[in-house]
Amino acid sequence: MNNNSSFKQNIKDLLKYIEDKKLLIFSFSLLLIANFILSYVPFVAGQITDQLSYYSNNKELGLYWNDLILKLLFLLVLYVVGNGTSIITNKIIMKISRKVSFRLRRDLENKLHKLPINYVDTRPGGNILSIVTSDIPLVENLVETSLVNLLVQTSIIILVMAMMLYLNQMLAIVYIILIPLTFFLMNFITSKTKTQFKKQQNTIGKLNGYVNDIFSNHQLIEGFTMEKHSKEEFKKLNKNSFDAYLNSRFISGFIIPLNFMINNIGYIFICLFGSISIINGSLTIGDFLAFLLYGQMLNTPLTSISTSMNNVQSGFAALERATDLLNEEEDIEKDDTILLDLNKVEGNIEFSHVEFGYTPDKVLFHDISLSVKKSMVIAIVGPSGAGKTTLVNLLMRFYDINSGKICLDGVDISNYLKVDLRKVFAVVLQDSWVFEGTIAENIGYGKKNATIEDIVNVSRIVGCDSFIDLLPDGYDTYISSEKSSLSVGEKQLLVLARTVIADPKILILDEATSQMDTRTETIVTKAMEELMKNRTTFVIAHRLFTIKNADSIIFMKDGDIKEVGNHEELLKLNGLYAEMYYSKT
């Protein structure tokens, strides 16, 4: 895509997020009027100078005092109206730019919920975070300042040039020659910088992601004495960000000095030709002063345009990163989906000749068939990488299968909307995820409009009320994933309580007790046994004693189901399960 078509696409993408385009046009129109008013100021100042010169030569100041006062008052009105209008319109445009960033953040957040799980799994989290935290402010600045400045300052140049031509065509030609030269240089320089600005934002995203990982896993880094490696990696990413910034700013840094140089050359020529014109009587001192003031007025917009062009390039590069994410392919649902009635879900699950791979060239499941009746407890065991977690992820359609069929109560799950299907399940993972809020809010998260009585009741069922009651603020104790006085086991109990209050039809326990001590695990196991009653339950566990009472045990290896049966049956089979069981007992 060439620069011209890319710029047009950038404008189209930006306009989609400007809700009140009429208000924006009205604001721009007011700014143009304000600039027209202010561009008249040097002309009036020149007239006042000529009048004062005439008064000083004729000694008749007293006769024309009222006329002079009126001109000065008129000059004051021009300043007040011009600048006042600019202040009002700037406030309007600021509100419009805030709405742009608000809508863009909203769409990005909505988009993240529609992206395939595989997208999030294969992208650095810091890169996505950088788009929201670093790129959106650049887009906001693009609307609020950069594009407005380009329009305003360009209009000033046009108006000033028109006034210069009106005053003296010969002197105006000097700037008519210099201004296109200035714009040619700016266009040449900015065409070289856009790619660098985009690269700069990408390096910031990688740096943010790494910093987030460092602080999230600080204890792990310390425990493995990897501080030196961490510092070296950070140093490399920081250097890349530094180099990208220098590369993006180095060439653009020529713009302002070049503008000043060209404008000063113009100022010298104006003084030269202006002096000749005054001497031969074709130019008054007041018009010469007006020309000098107009020259100064040109210096500001030319410099401002060069700065704005840098910000525009940076802003559009940020917008491209955001729109690239927004244009990513979403999970596509069928048009003929079936309404899922949660009250009628029984919990019968069937895998029929399922084939699946995360990528087309790496198939994990070749031919998985499995039947699970309602209320059964199914334990899934096997070595790491066997596909245990993948199996239950396919149940909730975090990934869609390549071929075959997975049915819930006899209906292919691909016929249900994913958001409806996932309401059937509740998952307790190995990592005990708690969010920033009170303990009550964390437990109540599993049920809409949960009352404090509901929260207390499930806490008693799970057994986490024993430590909650000992906290100074009880259920109002404030916790977060990073900062909390709770142990890993206590957090997991809260997660289990959240699951109990959700009252799921099908329960998935993925290494739910692996991080607990024996005493805590005993408490949690009792709570889980109560929770698993009358529910289809899938239990993934390495600790074999937690699954001995399962109705059926599935042993998986290399993406295939090798053995199926209860604990006693598999021991008698004396196969892979028996080998693993005896090796751990």
Paired sense of beta strands 536-540 and 506-510, if any: parallel
Give per-residue pLDDT as tens, 235-265.
Answer: 887 888 777 777 776 666 666 677 677 777 7
For residue 169, what is the domain's CATH number?
1.20.1560.10
* Lookup: tokens for 417: 């909307």
User: Does the residue 331 lie in any domain?
Assistant: no
Q: What's the first-to-final CA gap in the chain, in angstroms?
A: 64
Domain co-membership, 411 together with 557: yes
307 and 355 co-located in one domain = no
Q: Are residues 441 and 292 in the same domain?
A: no
Q: Which of 61-65, 211-215, 447-451, 545-549 has the highest mean pLDDT?
A: 447-451
Pair 153, 234 in one domain: yes
Mind listing the pLDDT tens digit for each residue in 382-423? 888 888 888 988 998 888 888 999 999 999 998 888 888 888
Amino acid at 101: S
Q: State whether 317 and 387 are in the same domain.
A: no
Q: What pLDDT score does 57 carry? A: 62
Alpha carbons 413 and 396: distance in angstroms, whole number: 9
Q: Please give the average per-residue pLDDT across 210-214, as a whole number.
A: 69
CA 366, CA 357: separation in Å to the nearest integer?
A: 9
Question: 167-201 pLDDT, tens per residue?
Answer: 888 888 877 777 777 767 766 766 666 666 667 76
pLDDT, position 187: 66
Q: Strand (E) positions, 409-551?
A: 411-412, 425-428, 437-438, 478-479, 506-510, 536-540
Same domain, 94 and 225: yes
274 shares its domain with 369: no
Residues 510 and 473: beta-carbon distance below 8 Å: no
pLDDT greater than 60 at residue 53: yes
Which residue is listed with tokens 């990208």?
244
Let me know: does 542 contact 523? Beta carbons within 8 Å: no
Cα–Cα distance, 373 to 476 (Å, whole number)? 41
Q: Which helix (H) or strand (E) holds 562?
A: strand 560-565
Question: Which of 297, 326, 355 delimits the end of a domain?
Answer: 326
Residue-number span of the structural domain to which 301 is assigned = 13-326
Map tokens 């011009």 to a residue: 82
| DSSP secondary structure string for all residues of 323-341 | HHHHTSPPPPPPTTPBPP-
Q: Which amino acid is residue 54, in one-letter code?
A: Y
- Judgement on whether residues 481 and 531 belong to the same structural domain of the protein: yes
Residue 3 — very low, low, confident or very high, per pLDDT cuts 50/70/90?
Answer: low
Same domain, 181 and 73: yes
User: Which is higher by pLDDT, 165 or 528?
Assistant: 165
pLDDT at 393: 87
Clarify whether residues 348 and 319 are in a common domain.
Answer: no
* The domain boundary residue, chosen from 301, 326, 351: 326
- When mean pLDDT is compared across 209-223, 275-289, 329-343, 445-459, the lowest value belongs to 209-223
Instruction: Show which of 326, 351, 375 is a domain's final residue.
Output: 326
Q: What is the CATH number of the domain that holds 562?
A: 3.40.50.300
Indicate whether 498 pLDDT > 80: yes
Q: Are residues 266 and 407 in the same domain?
A: no
Pairing of strands 437-438, 478-479: antiparallel
Does residue 488 fall inside a structural domain? Answer: yes
Residue 140 lies in a domain: yes
Please state the domain count of the chain: 2
Task: Give 29: exposed, middle or buried? Use CB within 10 Å, 0-12, 13-18, 19+.
Answer: exposed
Residue 336 forms part of a structural domain: no
Within this chain, do residues 376 and 244 fall inside the same structural domain, yes or no?
A: no
Q: What is the value of pTM for the model shown?
A: 0.63
With respect to residue 333, please indicate whether it lies within any of the assigned structural domains.
no
Name the residue among 236, 35, 1 with its Cα closest to residue 154. Answer: 35
575 in a domain, yes or no? yes
The pLDDT of residue 64 = 60
